[in-house]
Amino acid sequence: MMKIMIDAGHGPETAGKRSPDEVLREFSFNNAVANLVKQYLVKEGLTVFFAHNEHKDVPLSERTSYANKMNVDAFISIHANAYGTNWNSANGIETYIYPTASKGSVVLASLVQRSLISACNRTDRGVKKANFAVLRETRMPAVLIECGFMTNRQEAALLLNQAYRQQCARAISFAITAWVYRGKV
């Protein structure tokens, strides 16, 4: 049985991770989408674990250690992006992989990015490489998803919107399921 680790990036108390007007906390978006993704994946017969905790901030090292210990098949970290601390025009969706990522990570990131762009109709910022701890320290295919900018007024409103959260979750779930079953179809 395939095991997937979902990570709602950051935590409920992480400083600074919010929209300029402080209406949106990043973790509230990340956690809502993570919960929806879990619901969808469980319906597809996958086993899903969370790397985060709804009530306290979990250090990155604990998140990655847990994923490695559980020997999950993929690690997906869900985020909302920001550019600076004021409102601006930065917008779109991007997916990150580690600079020396495995082929599995590359394929998963490509599926996630395409699925999100198709479902959400946002600017395609592409698949990018970064030395993020959750990508570097995990021993399985891993991606970090940025679903829109909290510092863009239009996208901040979307990130607060339940329908947009469901669009993101469905798209992420669809991509993960496609990735899991890619060799079995």
Domains of the chain, residue spans: 3-180
User: Which of 100, 165, 103 has its CA nearest to residue 129?
Assistant: 100
**The predicted structure's pLDDT at residue 182:** 84
Q: What is the pLDDT of residues 99-138, one digit of tens each?
A: 999 999 999 999 999 999 999 999 999 999 999 999 999 9
Residue type for position 176: I
**The predicted structure's pLDDT at residue 16:** 87
**The predicted structure's pLDDT at residue 29:** 98
The burial class, CB within 10 Å (0-12 / 13-18 / 19+), for 162 is: exposed
**The predicted structure's pLDDT at residue 185:** 37
CB contact burial 85-120 (16+ within 10 A = b; e otherwise): eebeebbbbbbbbbeebeebbebbbbbbbbbbbebb
Can you list the residues of the chain whose pLDDT is less than 50? 185
Q: CATH class for domain 3-180?
A: alpha beta
